[in-house]
Amino acid sequence: MEPIIALEDVSFTYKINEDSSVPVLKNVSFSIYPGEYVAIIGHNGSGKSTLSKHFNGLLTPSSGDVWVQGHNTKDESKKLDIRKTVGMVFQHPDNQIVATIVEEDVAFGLENIGVPRAEMKHRIDEALEVVKMSEFRKRPPHHLSGGQKQRVAIAGVLAMQPDCIVFDESTSMLDTFGRNEVLQAIRKMNKMGMTIITVTHRMSEAAEAGRIIVVEDGKIVMDGNPREIFKHKQVLMDLQLDVPAVSQMADIVHSQIPMFSKELIQEDELI
Ligand code: ADP
């Protein structure tokens, strides 16, 4: 199977001015395949957000290449195709909402790319349905809760029919209820076949994914399924990841993967 996103020896440095620069990503290579649900974890400043901005060309590598469905993100003529393939949802729902009525907000991106009226209505209906916001379509977004606003932002991205959506700490501003609403929408989109990449500092959210990539100091230090990753409790603790949550992961992973026996967990000196 062809990867949807492939990073080849990617390094990235922020240039502050002539004399100063911040090297962030260091020789990063991995591929993401259609239908995967990938969580990217790592402590603050490890380079997760910088990495995720490479997935749709918001940032391009200082050296190395990123390929999105075979298109190089440095190729200006493919920028629009790449943005259509990989949508992004950010942390602050307020910064992503532009219109005064929910359905107009969802329509915004579609108008920009000239989708015909009838098709637009169909896509808005479908997107609002997936995030369970249909009944709010005529409401002003500023009256909604954080979780509801974030779901409107997701509907806006979804309506563009991307193959992949990247969530960059998209639940971190939300309360437990709002977070669960958004996670439900994410699960549903993945079940529909969409590729999901989520950047999160929450281990419980990472455990939802089929694959976890651990970033430290701009490098990939672990890449595997939650079962494999949470075996390395000490490594995760050394990376200052949320240790109490890490300790609960054996239970969560255990309950999610029934064929994974408790004996095996103990044998491998799991958490
Ligand atoms: P994370 O998402 O893991 O918190 P980031 O990718 O946001 O990490 O940041 C990684 C490093 O890059 C940090 O040292 C941060 O200060 C630096 N950085 C992030 N954005 C910029 C920027 N626009 N200009 C300069 N340095 C930046």
State pLDDT tens for residues 119-173. Answer: 999 999 999 999 999 999 999 998 899 999 999 999 999 999 999 999 999 888 8
Interface predicted TM-score of the whole assembly (ipTM), two decimals: 0.98
Residue 153, amino acid: A
For residue 260, the Cα-to-chain-centroid distance in whole angstroms is 27
Domain boundaries, the chain: 5-224, 226-271
225 Cβ contact partners less than 8 Å away, ≥ 6 residues apart:
210, 211, 212
Q: Is the pLDDT of residue 234 over 80?
A: no
Pocket test for ligand 1, best of 26, 41, 50, 167 (most atoms within 8 A of CB): 50
pTM attached to this predicted model: 0.88
Q: What is the per-residue pLDDT across 168-220, written as a single tens digit (0 to 9) for each?
A: 998 888 888 888 988 999 999 999 999 999 999 888 889 999 999 999 999 99
Write the DSSP symbol of residue 16: -
Question: What is each CA distance from 201 to 48, 50, 92, 183, 225, in whole angstroms?
Answer: 10, 15, 15, 14, 17
Q: Specify the range with the lowest mean pLDDT, choosing from 52-66, 179-193, 237-251.
A: 237-251
CA 251/CA 248 separation, integer angstroms? 6
Question: What is each CA distance from 202 to 79, 97, 196, 255, in whole angstroms?
Answer: 31, 25, 16, 18
The minimum-distance atom of ligand 1 relative to the CA of 50 is 6
Q: Specify the range with the lowest mean pLDDT, choosing from 65-69, 111-115, 214-218.
A: 111-115
Nearest CA to ligand 1 atom 24: 14
Percent of the chain with pLDDT over 90: 69
Q: Is the pLDDT of residue 269 over 80?
A: no
CA 71/CA 79 separation, integer angstroms? 9
CATH fold of the domain at 5-224: Rossmann fold (3.40.50)
Q: What is the pLDDT of residue 252?
A: 55
What is the residue-averaged pLDDT of the chain?
A: 88
Pocket test for ligand 1, best of 24, 46, 219 (most atoms within 8 A of CB): 24
Residue of 138, 172, 133 lying closest to 153 (CA atoms): 133
Nearest CA to ligand 1 atom 14: 45
Question: Which residue's entry shows tokens 């419980």?
Answer: 204
Q: What is the pLDDT of residue 258?
A: 37
| CA 229 to centroid of ligand 1, rounded, Å | 24
Q: Is the pLDDT of residue 13 over 60?
A: yes
